Amino acid sequence: MRFRWTISVLLVVASAAHGQESGIEFFEMKIRPVLVEHCYQCHSKQTGKERGGLRLDTRESLRTGGVTGPAIVPGKPADSLLIKAVRHASDDLKMPRDGKLRPEVARVRRGEAWVEAAVRDVLRGERVAVRPGDRVPLDGVIREGRSAFDQAAVTGESVPVDKGPGDEVWAGTINVSASFELEVTRRAS
């Protein structure tokens, strides 16, 4: 399973738009499995590792954070270090370091043909096709088609979001309903 994720969903727990039960259920079903699979090996009491002084296995530890500060900032997802880290928004802070949260290959238009290419070899400005059920391989802007996107792992939103031409999509989100083409805006790191 390769996708970028975030813990901003904890904000949903406190949101007026979601009851406490639905927020907790959403966290347990959509977010905790991602943490267990990709983060706990370096950031949990269970494994005895707290790299950077950070544990991600309790709500309190997410809010307390590690040596660089709180992992999440309730109500301010853009200020949350965890969100910045999993989106690889900074060269200094990238998690997971091996970048294994997105697909490793993409369908890229090269001339008149669609070819499979390693995500690391796709250039900014190239067109990428994404089929229903696939994870979006790179950040980009939709140029053709419309679809609904499950962004829960990236934004914490609990329902799919409809997007069309001109809308931004992020690596790791799941294309739910229809094929589309995106223009890559950021190369894989």
pLDDT at 68: 84
The reply to whether the predicted model has a pTM over 0.85 is: no
Long-range contacts, stretch 31-38, CB < 8 angstroms, 24+ apart? 31/5, 31/7, 31/152, 31/153, 31/156, 34/1, 34/3, 34/5, 34/153, 35/7, 37/1, 38/5, 38/96, 38/100, 38/101
Domain stops at, among 55, 86, 117: 86
Mean pLDDT of the chain: 79
Tens-place pLDDT, residues 101-113? 667 899 999 999 9
Tens-place pLDDT, residues 25-78? 767 776 777 778 778 888 888 888 888 888 888 888 888 888 888 888 877 766
| Residue numbers of the domain that contains 44 | 9-86
Residue 167: CATH number of its domain:
2.70.150.10
Q: Do 72 and 20 reside in the same domain of the chain?
A: yes
